[in-house]
Amino acid sequence: MWNQAKKLPYLLIAPSAAFLMIFFLYPFASVITQAFEHSSTDGYSLTNFQEVFSHWKFSISLENTLLLTAAVVPIQLALALLMATMVNSMRKGRDLILYIWTIPLGISDLAAGIIWLVIFEQTGFLNSLMLNLGLIERPVALLTYQNPMMIFVAIALAEIWRATAIMLVILVAGIGLIPREYYEAASVFRASKWQQFIRITLPLLKPSLQTALILRVILAFEVFAVVAALGGTLFPVLMGETYIYQFDLLNSGAAAAIALVILGLSIAFTLIVLRILKVPKGVTM
């Protein structure tokens, strides 16, 4: 009866396939054409890109986005690995700890930005703490243009706080797929815990590490609301510029051009990760 119904599977995927055609493939194609179309010229041109690239904010926002990604993702990866291995060796309270650690997964980036604003704003908790410790005498404005490093740190902390959970979940799921016998065999052969981690966990976790890294970095290139909440216009990033072009300047061609830059970065990075963390055939579990 499974192979009798030749049309049924197509009937079942048709709605979602059609939906993805209209709302994924079509806009994907049109964001590309939009980027190469400009009112001043006929046909396709690079005018939008020239306009965007020549604006002083572009290089800063590109730099900011990349720096933020470079600062945040490695820390998240290390933290997520640590948390995942800790959870894995846990007997009592595993579910509770896992739940607590995955709470940020459900929290929007805007809310995360606001949460860290509670700490970093002028009358916030960080200032209160420093006052109580006698470091300052009255509240100082932390998130100002004189203090770009502080803005960067605040955004980075909020990002690490918010988005480590997604990596944690992927890695915990991945570790769960590694058969226990491998560890038992390793300890019979007198491998220490550390050696087991290096020689068994890491190599067998490659597919999950791959997924986690790709997903996380792509999300990091899209960083937007956290920055809007904590840095406002003081810390321009690519996604924020896209929003400004689209919404404030009503220049959808330029917005599409930056969108393509983000897309290009995402694809390039995905390919790099796939290359570096190459998973040999047959190793995937």
Partner 1 sequence: MTHSVASGKSIRFLYIASIVLLCAWVLGPLYLLAVNALSSPDTINQFPMNLIPEFDLESLIFFANFYGMLDALINSITVALFTMCFSICLGAPAGYALARFDFVGKELFRVIILMTRAFPLPLLALPLAVFFIETGLDDTAFGLSLVHTTLALPFAILITFSLFSGVPRELEEAAWTLGCNRFAAFRFVILPLILPGITASAIFAFVISWNEVFASAVLTIQNRTLTAFLLQNLDTAPLHLKFAGGFILVVPAIVFIFAVRKYLFAMWGISNR
Partner 2 sequence: MAIIEIKNIAKTFGTYEALKDINLTVEDQEFMVLLGASGCGKTTLLRIIAGLESPTQGEVWIGDRRIDHLPARERGISMVFQNYAIFPHMTVAENIGFGLKMSKIPADELKRRVEKNAELMHIEHLLKRYSGELSGGQRQRVAVARALAMEPDVILMDEPLSNLDALLRLEMRAELKGVLQQSNTTAIYVTHDQVEAMSLADRVSVMNAGEIVQADKPMELYRNPATQFVASFIGSPPMNFLIASNTSNGFWVIENETLSGPSIAEQSILLAIRPEDVRLSDSGLPAVVRLVEPLGPHLLVTTDVGSNQFRAILDSDSQIQEGQKIFLKPNVERIRWFHPETYRAVF
Which are the contacts of 15, defined by CB distance < 8 A and separation ≥ 6? none
* DSSP annotation of 122: T
* Residues from 55 through 94 that contact partner 1 (CB under 8 A): 82-83, 86
Distance CA(33)–CA(56), nearest Å, equals 25
Number of H helices, E strands in the chain: 15, 0
**Minimum distance of partner 1 from residue 103's CB (angstroms):** 6
Residues in touch with partner 2 (CB under 8 A): 1-4
**Minimum distance of partner 2 from residue 4's CB (angstroms):** 5
Distance CA(166)–CA(194), nearest Å, equals 24
Nearer of residues 185 and 283 to partner 1, judged by Cβ: 283
Nearer of residues 1 and 276 to partner 2, judged by Cβ: 1
Residue 246 touches which of partner 2, partner 1, none (Cβ within 5-8 Å per kind): partner 1
Q: Which of 72, 221, 235, 237 binds partner 1 (CB under 8 A)?
A: 221
**Minimum distance of partner 2 from residue 2's CB (angstroms):** 8
**Minimum distance of partner 2 from residue 282's CB (angstroms):** 23
Which are the contacts of 16, defined by CB distance < 8 A and separation ≥ 6? none
* Residues from 100 through 119 that contact partner 1 (CB under 8 A): 100-111, 114-119
Nearer of residues 1 and 103 to partner 2, judged by Cβ: 1
Contact between 244 and partner 1 by CB under 8 A: the answer reads no
**Minimum distance of partner 2 from residue 9's CB (angstroms):** 16
* Residues from 2 through 61 that contact partner 1 (CB under 8 A): 2-3, 5-6, 8-13, 15-17, 19-20, 23-28, 30-31, 34
Residue 148 touches which of partner 1, partner 2, none (Cβ within 5-8 Å per kind): none
Instruction: Report phi then psi at 37, rounded to 5.
Output: -105, 140
Distance CA(10)–CA(100), nearest Å, equals 41
Which are the contacts of 100, defined by CB distance < 8 A and separation ≥ 6? none
Contact between 211 and partner 1 by CB under 8 A: the answer reads yes
Which are the contacts of 261, defined by CB distance < 8 A and separation ≥ 6? 52, 62, 238
Nearer of residues 5 and 198 to partner 1, judged by Cβ: 5
* Residues from 149 through 188 that contact partner 1 (CB under 8 A): 161, 169-170, 172-174, 176-177
**Minimum distance of partner 1 from residue 179's CB (angstroms):** 14
Question: Could you tell me if 269 and 92 are in contact, meaning their C-beta atoms sit under 8 angstroms apart?
Answer: no
Question: Could you tell me if 72 and 220 are in contact, meaning their C-beta atoms sit under 8 angstroms apart?
Answer: yes
Distance CA(199)–CA(209), nearest Å, equals 15
Cα dihedral angle (69, 75, 80, 81), rounded to 10 degrees?
Answer: 120
| E strand spans, 152-273 | none
Contact between 207 and partner 1 by CB under 8 A: the answer reads yes
Contact between 239 and partner 1 by CB under 8 A: the answer reads yes
**Minimum distance of partner 1 from residue 144's CB (angstroms):** 14
